[in-house]
Amino acid sequence: MYKLLYKIGISIIVLFLSTGVSYSAKKGGHLKYAHLQKAKSLDANVWTATNAAHIMRQIYDPLVWQPKAGKFVPGLATKWEINKNGTEFTFWLRNDVNFHDGTKFNAKAVKATFDRIADPATRSLQLSRLGPYKKTEILGDYKVKIYFKQPWHIFMSNISEVALAPASPTAIKKLGDKYPLFPNGTGPFKVKEWPDDTTVVLERNENYNWAPSFLNHSGPAYLETITYRFIPEKSTRLIAFENSEFDIMDGLPSEDYQRIKDDKNFRLQFFVVPGLPQVMNINVTSGPTKELAVRQAMLYAIDEDMMVNLIFFGANPAAKGPLSSGSWAYWDGVEKMYPYNPEKAKSLLDKAGWKDTNGDGIREKNGVPLVVRHVTKGDYKNRKPAEFYQAQMKEVGIDGKVEAMAYEATARRYADNAYEMARLGYALFDAHDTFYLPFHSSQIEGGGQFNRSRVNDPKIDSLIDKGVAETNIDKRYVIYKELQEYVMDQALFLPSYEVTFSHLYYPYVKDLKVDLLGREYFYDVWLDK
């Protein structure tokens, strides 16, 4: 029922995949990692940058681990109970864990973490993951109960992410504004140094002895250090890796995919990330895209498969719906809803009264040309798809005007509602947030920061609220299937491409594993060189 679709013809990761045969691991070693994006903060409870999360995964441990969708195993919590309504979660905690600063992990630390995230003064970007949070009650030194104002069954999935992992209250209080540079979790690695904005060095936590059961050993990690070097320029990063300056890199350039994927000197893995694929939200409150027929015509006019082959050289699968094919709730029926059919697009526009009366190739109605402003960032992965859409929409008489600009400028345009199309995409464990953020009416506030379609549909809101309140995963799937079909029928976005994380590394990097979002576990890794 739950289709995990991985469409890339190389080594594909499903759940936790090792790099190769497990050997008698050699302890020690210094891993060098060429990272694609600078980390501005390592405060997991506040910051949400996807690439920083790869680093924070090594620093923090969650209350529970999620080795596969919907299956939870003990982390910092040894057991738990959930009331029938999904409004109360009780956790029994480990009593043998210390934070990196030597202070005890306990119930007070859990309460402090959730209360900090929930405090408006913190301005945490993780606040939505707590949903209708009410309070945390301490029931003992190592027992807590978390209360929610309404059912929040996805809480278990959310606490398996690093975003809600406990942090040292003592370190946060002591370091103040400097805490994001010196994060303090319970994980297998801790920050050794952060000398400048190009480098972060982690060192082994010698006291670590509480790894999850699905990993290969107990005690401290094998690696002594992990050095992250931030090299945003993709070709520079790849050249440095091929020159053996690094052991592993992320963000393989799409144009190098075909050359690298069959090179026996390397190991390459792509992971299709659960969550919202890269899509172009269509604004239902601005200009001609107010009309359903126009929005549906736009979807028929676009050949996503051609786009990913031309622009990404086959390195990213085409998106087909509001959920990534890597999501447990993915419904493959979306793949049949809008096949590439420019004649169908033209027919819909004709019936809606949009005609090219002056012969300039652009349709008009009541003297108003059919112009769709596509506001996007100016980087390759945003601008190139936008230009492709522009060309294909022109074939059916739509002027898909591309307006590429810096992020700050796009944010202003979103706030002013001065656009018809806008890009959005993110990685998430659970299907709920994938619908809630871009389609729930509550997310229009703040200038449509997430709900850039600005859709306010009671049916969508009701299905989303019903989904998060449902305890049975099979019944949740039925709800999310209906949601996928309905938002596609309403043509609220143009599917673009699926988000992937890539790992390119040398064969001597042994026992690398990744989580459901493609983030590495370096706890078991050792270097056979």
User: What's the confidence (pLDDT) of residue 19?
Assistant: 39
User: What's the confidence (pLDDT) of residue 22?
Assistant: 41
How far apart (Å, rounded) are the C-alpha atoms in residues 227 and 215?
Answer: 22
Reported confidence tier of residue 434, pLDDT bands at 50, 70, 90: confident
- How big is the CA angle at 464 (ends 56 and 496), to the nearest 5 degrees? 65
Reported confidence tier of residue 10, pLDDT bands at 50, 70, 90: very low
How far apart (Å, rounded) are the C-alpha atoms in residues 158 and 141?
Answer: 23
More confident residue, 446 or 29: 29
User: What's the confidence (pLDDT) of residue 185?
Assistant: 98
User: What's the confidence (pLDDT) of residue 4?
Assistant: 36
Give the other-Cβ count within 10 Å of 119's Cβ. Answer: 11
Mean pLDDT over residues 229-234, rounded? Answer: 92
DSSP secondary structure code for residue 163 in this structure: G
Mean pLDDT over residues 300-305, rounded? Answer: 96
Mean pLDDT over residues 46-68, rounded? Answer: 86
User: What's the confidence (pLDDT) of residue 405?
Assistant: 86
Reported confidence tier of residue 9, pLDDT bands at 50, 70, 90: very low
How far apart (Å, rounded) are the C-alpha atoms in residues 191 and 58?
Answer: 10
Say if residue 18's pLDDT is above 50: no
List the structure tokens of 331.
């419904």
Mean pLDDT over residues 28-55, rounded? Answer: 86
Tens of pLDDT, residue by residue over 488-512, are 999 999 999 988 888 899 999 999 9
Angle at which helix 304-312 crosses helix 380-394, to 10 degrees, equals 140
Comparing 30-34, 116-120, 431-435, 447-451, the range with the smallest average pLDDT is 447-451
Please state the separation of Cα 268 from the chain's center in Å: 20
List the structure tokens of 428.
């998430």
User: What's the confidence (pLDDT) of residue 8?
Assistant: 32
Per the CB < 8 A criterion, the answer to whether 370 and 397 are in contact is yes
User: What's the confidence (pLDDT) of residue 432?
Assistant: 85
Say if residue 261's pLDDT is above 70: yes
Reported confidence tier of residue 108, pLDDT bands at 50, 70, 90: very high
Per the CB < 8 A criterion, the answer to whether 206 and 9 are in contact is no
Per the CB < 8 A criterion, the answer to whether 215 and 512 are in contact is no
List the structure tokens of 327.
């999501």
List the structure tokens of 393.
């929409």
Reported confidence tier of residue 429, pLDDT bands at 50, 70, 90: low
More confident residue, 188 or 255: 188
How far apart (Å, rounded) are the C-alpha atoms in residues 27 and 176?
Answer: 36
User: What's the confidence (pLDDT) of residue 2?
Assistant: 32
Per the CB < 8 A criterion, the answer to whether 389 and 494 are in contact is yes
Say if residue 127's pLDDT is above 80: yes
Q: Please report the domains of the chain, with CATH numbers, ordered by start residue.
A: 1-36+188-273+499-529 (3.40.190.10), 43-185 (3.90.76.10), 275-498 (3.10.105.10)
Per the CB < 8 A criterion, the answer to whether 201 and 172 are in contact is no
Reported confidence tier of residue 472, pLDDT bands at 50, 70, 90: confident
Give the other-Cβ count within 10 Å of 310's Cβ. Answer: 13
Percent of the chain with pLDDT over 70: 93
- How big is the CA angle at 73 (ends 71 and 77), to the nearest 5 degrees? 135
Tens of pLDDT, residue by residue over 167-185, are 999 999 999 999 999 999 9
